[in-house]
Structure 1
Amino acid sequence: MLLSTENSVLDHYAPGLREKLQATGLVANEGPDSTAIRDWAGSGGTGLIVPAELGGRGATAVEAVRFQTAVGALAPSLGAATTMHHLSCATLFEAAEDASDDERALIRDLVEQGTVMASGFSEGKPGGSVFRPTMTARRDGDDYLLSGRKAPCSLARSMSLLVASALVDQHERAVVLVFNGSDGLSREEFWKAPVLAAAESDALVLDEVRVKGDMVFLMSENDPDNVHEMTGYLWFGLLISACYLGVATGMVETLARRDPVDAKLLTSALAEVEAMRTSLLAVAREFDDGARGGDVSARLALVRWSMRDALVRVQSRVREGVGGFAYMQDPALAYAFEAAQVFSYHPPSRRETSHKLVAWARGEDFRYA
């Protein structure tokens, strides 16, 4: 099995989840009545990457990449949605490094309760940067009034908490925690495509939502140089890439089970998958060894760039190898072909990244914003 190591990591950190996802099947996991998110939340997977001292499981980046790869092969929507949860977790535990004891206690309570966190980061706008806050907050006494919109926002229906970035009083960046059910917070239908619909990527609209001061982390205090924010996006890039690596590996496993099989086609597809896995894990190991900041972020951006083209090549070879009848008779495989295409839509865009990578290659520091 190409995913034996990944499956072992999944079983270790979320006992029973793989069996549930397999029993339900990929098509049902991606359908309108999917229970995948609920199954994941009940398996202990919510605290995967959170350090143990904050109530989490403390998985390394390598382990988390393997975990998400296994999930992506079984339930792509779950892999994409939970990546946004982990981004929220990473943002919080990075902020906790410089937080007060009370703030750290709050984060620990949220983690230990298995809180499902939606992410109010990374909304793409034509001509804009996904790394600049689109929500705004203004001080109102000891509280803050938060307004804005996040579309799409994965986990919009299952979340207990929204972790959002905001610009406070037009100049100061902050991370803001908003509980589901807060006055002024509403949800609107957004994601109308059938692919990855089970990620619950609707729109969240905030209209002067009142947030207590202890739910607002001012980044000028906690992250003046954007280091923690950059680290959160390293987690995002690693885990979203792992999800689609899982989709691609699942396709190749389907091709490998065929008898007879075109050996050259299968070997070419295997080579693509293994090259993606090796490069992604290399960055994850670098991260686990303490690398942070521009250079490792640039290398991950290049891995994601290469994966975009590699996923197209894998899909093409598997399509050719399985043939038209398999496509017609295997809805899970047909779905995987379409799901792999969505990788290219995750932020940041190539337009946004390319000029920064060129500058980095010429010796400048790599920064998203």
Structure 2
Amino acid sequence: MTALMVREREILEQYIPGLFDYLDRTPLSDLESRGSDAIAKFKEFGGTALIVPKELGGSGATALEAVRAQRAIGSRSPSLGAATTMHHLSIASLIEFARGASEDDRALVKGLVEQHAVIASGFSEGTPGGSVFIPTMKAKRVGDVYVVNGSKKPCSLSGSMDLLTASVEVEGVGEKDGERAVALIPAGLDGMTVEKFWDTPFLEASQSDEVNLHDVQVPADLVLLNSDDDPDGVHEMTGYLWFGMLISANYLGGATLLLEKMLAADKGDFEGYTRAAADIESSMAAIESVARAVDDGERGQDISARLLFCRIAIRDALVRASSAAMESLGGIGFIKSPDIGYLAGALQAFAFHPPSRRSISETLTKYHGGDEFAFVK
């Protein structure tokens, strides 16, 4: 065993025992295929409770521990890392809502943890020329339920979800019409269907297909109005903090597997290896610095902007690292090991996770110029 990523493997084994061993002995092609059982194993080994505080029945991993565990997962199955990031984003948002909430609301979160519920995320549905942070789903209050319509595509975990958390725009609530809210939608409700959407062979095992909702009736107590539960938007920002940290760690894990392959090839290209490793390790250090700040209690505008700047830098670092690794491993390595080409292709997907560099650049520039930072203004 190399000295590379020892800490990350140990953290993963501490919090989700047995998962790394399963991932390590299963071929990458099996883990990344549409028929992969990696998500089921993640649930079986207790991964759903990773970042949930112990007082809510969870494992209580810190943000720093979670990003290290996610890097280890991504080093064996980038699809699993991407999919489970969406679960953690969803559960983190629920945890924030549960802080200071009623005992009934806290009991709801505890119940989801006890059931090892897999929670998909219906946030960030992109529209051409629009913002991924403005909901495309609509929810109309009718008596004791909200009737929800819309779709989410792609929606990771669509084949395994027990619950879908979705950002919706509400009506039928008087002066609060047009507000955003978070809807907790149990999977399998009438009017909820899943259709194949993901056609590329990369990251197929993330189960990123289309979830459609047609007149789905959601109990009113499962729809959380932002003005009531998140008036300053900090809960939403916190959810995206977890998303940004974990999705970055996942792809850095995938790039780390290329480093492992370079070590195994032992071609003597020390300069090529060092260039690739430097980009990956410095990027991971940046994410860990954000995670430490989250653990210290930082929330809101400044840390959200700092993380986005890190993500933009990591995008370019991944391109450089994978290019250096491919060049070092050579044409024969590419021809004889399908995993190498697969990983290089899969790493490109990091650029597609919202918000895009183009959509957020003006906001970040103006924030440094003195404006308030918000995903939606």
Which category describes the TM-score, using the shorter chain as reference length? Answer: over 0.9
Q: Equivalent residues in 2 for 1:164-243 (5 A)?
A: 164-169=166-171, 170-243=177-250
Deviation at 1:301, TM superposition (A): 0.3
Counterpart Cα distance in 1 of 2:367 and 2:55:
36
Indicate the residue corresponding to 1:77 in structure 2: 79
Pairing 1:264–2:271 present = yes
Indicate the residue corresponding to 2:174 in structure 1: none
Indicate the residue corresponding to 1:49 in structure 2: 51
Counterpart Cα distance in 2 of 1:109 and 1:172:
28
Counterpart Cα distance in 2 of 1:114 and 1:340:
29
Counterpart Cα distance in 1 of 2:158 and 2:266:
43
Q: Deviations over 1:76-135 (max 9, x none)?
A: 100000000011101111111242211111111011110001101011222111111111
For these two proteins, the number of residue pairs brought into alignment is 369
Q: Equivalent residues in 2 for 1:100-139 (5 A)?
A: 100-139=102-141
Alpha carbons 1:255, 1:261 under 8 Å: kept: no
Counterpart Cα distance in 1 of 2:86 and 2:282:
25
Identity fraction in percent: 51
Q: CA RMSD in A?
A: 1.0
Counterpart Cα distance in 1 of 2:134 and 2:52:
25
Q: Deviations over 1:230-267 (max 9, x none)?
A: 11000000000010010111111211222232111111
The one of 345, 348, 357 equivalent to 1:341 is 348
- State the TM-score, normalized to the length of structure 2: 0.96
SS in 2 for 1:363: coil
Counterpart Cα distance in 2 of 1:142 and 1:221:
18
Counterpart Cα distance in 2 of 1:159 and 1:84:
11
The one of 6, 9, 20 equivalent to 1:7 is 9
Counterpart Cα distance in 2 of 1:117 and 1:367:
25
Indicate the residue corresponding to 1:252 in structure 2: 259
Q: Which amino acid aligns with 1:157?
A: G
Deviation at 1:363, TM superposition (A): 2.1
The one of 335, 353, 363 equivalent to 2:360 is 353
Counterpart Cα distance in 1 of 2:6 and 2:309:
27
The one of 324, 347, 356 equivalent to 1:317 is 324
Indicate the residue corresponding to 1:87 in structure 2: 89
Which range moves more in the overlay, 359-368 or 146-155? 359-368
